[in-house]
Amino acid sequence: MHAPNMQVEHIRCVVAYASDIIFSGVSLNPHRRKGVKTASLSLDHSVWFHRPVRADDWLLYVIESPFAGGGRGFVTGQMFNRKGELVASLTQECLIRKPKPQNQNPKAKL
Protein backbone atom coordinates (compact mmCIF):
# COMPACT_ATOMS: atom_id res chain seq x y z
CA MET A 1 0.00 0.00 0.00
CA HIS A 2 1.59 3.24 -1.16
CA ALA A 3 0.77 6.52 0.56
CA PRO A 4 1.00 9.04 -2.34
CA ASN A 5 -0.36 11.99 -0.37
CA MET A 6 2.05 11.63 2.51
CA GLN A 7 4.48 14.54 2.60
CA VAL A 8 8.23 13.84 2.55
CA GLU A 9 8.61 15.43 6.00
CA HIS A 10 5.91 13.18 7.47
CA ILE A 11 7.55 10.07 6.06
CA ARG A 12 10.90 11.11 7.51
CA CYS A 13 9.25 11.68 10.90
CA VAL A 14 7.73 8.20 10.82
CA VAL A 15 11.09 6.63 9.94
CA ALA A 16 12.94 8.65 12.61
CA TYR A 17 10.38 7.71 15.28
CA ALA A 18 10.40 4.03 14.32
CA SER A 19 14.20 3.95 14.28
CA ASP A 20 14.34 4.95 17.96
CA ILE A 21 12.16 2.09 19.21
CA ILE A 22 14.86 -0.60 19.35
CA PHE A 23 18.00 1.47 18.94
CA SER A 24 19.23 1.77 22.55
CA GLY A 25 18.47 -1.89 23.22
CA VAL A 26 21.48 -2.87 21.12
CA SER A 27 23.89 -1.37 23.66
CA LEU A 28 22.12 -3.34 26.42
CA ASN A 29 22.56 -6.76 24.78
CA PRO A 30 25.86 -7.67 26.54
CA HIS A 31 24.25 -6.91 29.93
CA ARG A 32 21.16 -9.00 29.13
CA ARG A 33 23.32 -12.01 28.27
CA LYS A 34 24.83 -11.80 31.75
CA GLY A 35 21.39 -11.67 33.35
CA VAL A 36 21.75 -8.07 34.48
CA LYS A 37 18.51 -6.08 34.30
CA THR A 38 18.99 -2.61 32.88
CA ALA A 39 16.93 0.34 31.72
CA SER A 40 17.85 2.96 29.15
CA LEU A 41 16.70 6.22 27.67
CA SER A 42 17.81 8.29 24.69
CA LEU A 43 20.07 11.26 25.36
CA ASP A 44 20.23 12.16 21.69
CA HIS A 45 19.11 10.58 18.44
CA SER A 46 20.26 11.86 15.04
CA VAL A 47 19.15 10.82 11.55
CA TRP A 48 20.72 11.87 8.25
CA PHE A 49 18.63 11.13 5.16
CA HIS A 50 20.67 10.48 2.01
CA ARG A 51 17.89 9.48 -0.41
CA PRO A 52 14.11 9.61 -0.51
CA VAL A 53 12.67 6.96 1.80
CA ARG A 54 9.32 5.23 1.83
CA ALA A 55 7.75 4.31 5.15
CA ASP A 56 5.39 1.85 3.47
CA ASP A 57 8.10 -0.35 1.93
CA TRP A 58 10.72 -2.76 3.16
CA LEU A 59 13.81 -1.26 4.90
CA LEU A 60 16.87 -3.12 6.15
CA TYR A 61 18.02 -1.63 9.46
CA VAL A 62 21.62 -2.50 10.40
CA ILE A 63 22.47 -1.53 13.99
CA GLU A 64 25.64 -1.88 16.09
CA SER A 65 26.92 -0.55 19.38
CA PRO A 66 30.66 0.14 19.22
CA PHE A 67 30.72 1.31 22.86
CA ALA A 68 28.82 0.79 26.10
CA GLY A 69 30.34 1.76 29.43
CA GLY A 70 30.29 4.27 32.24
CA GLY A 71 26.51 4.26 32.28
CA ARG A 72 26.21 5.23 28.60
CA GLY A 73 25.85 3.49 25.29
CA PHE A 74 26.63 4.65 21.77
CA VAL A 75 24.75 3.14 18.84
CA THR A 76 25.07 3.59 15.08
CA GLY A 77 22.76 2.43 12.34
CA GLN A 78 22.19 2.40 8.62
CA MET A 79 18.93 1.97 6.70
CA PHE A 80 18.87 0.50 3.22
CA ASN A 81 15.98 0.39 0.78
CA ARG A 82 14.84 -2.65 -1.20
CA LYS A 83 17.45 -1.88 -3.89
CA GLY A 84 20.26 -1.98 -1.30
CA GLU A 85 20.83 1.78 -1.43
CA LEU A 86 21.75 3.61 1.78
CA VAL A 87 18.80 5.88 2.59
CA ALA A 88 19.67 7.00 6.14
CA SER A 89 22.49 7.00 8.70
CA LEU A 90 21.69 7.17 12.40
CA THR A 91 23.44 7.65 15.74
CA GLN A 92 22.25 7.63 19.32
CA GLU A 93 23.74 8.09 22.77
CA CYS A 94 21.75 6.53 25.58
CA LEU A 95 21.85 6.52 29.36
CA ILE A 96 22.03 3.05 30.93
CA ARG A 97 21.04 2.38 34.54
CA LYS A 98 20.15 -0.54 36.75
CA PRO A 99 16.56 -0.22 37.95
CA LYS A 100 16.15 0.46 41.66
CA PRO A 101 15.03 -2.66 43.52
CA GLN A 102 11.35 -2.74 44.39
CA ASN A 103 10.61 -2.78 48.12
CA GLN A 104 9.07 -6.20 48.74
CA ASN A 105 7.31 -5.18 51.97
CA PRO A 106 6.40 -1.51 51.71
CA LYS A 107 5.39 0.10 54.99
CA ALA A 108 2.41 2.38 55.12
CA LYS A 109 3.26 6.01 55.77
CA LEU A 110 0.66 7.42 58.14
Catalytic center residues = 20, 42, 92
Task: Decide: residue 89, CB within 10 A, 0-12 exposed, 13-18 middle, 19+ buried.
Answer: middle
Tell me, what DSSP letter sits at residue 101? P
Residue 72 and residue 95 in contact, taking contact as beta carbons nearer than 8 Å: yes
Half-sphere exposure of 50 (CA within 13 A, CB side): 11
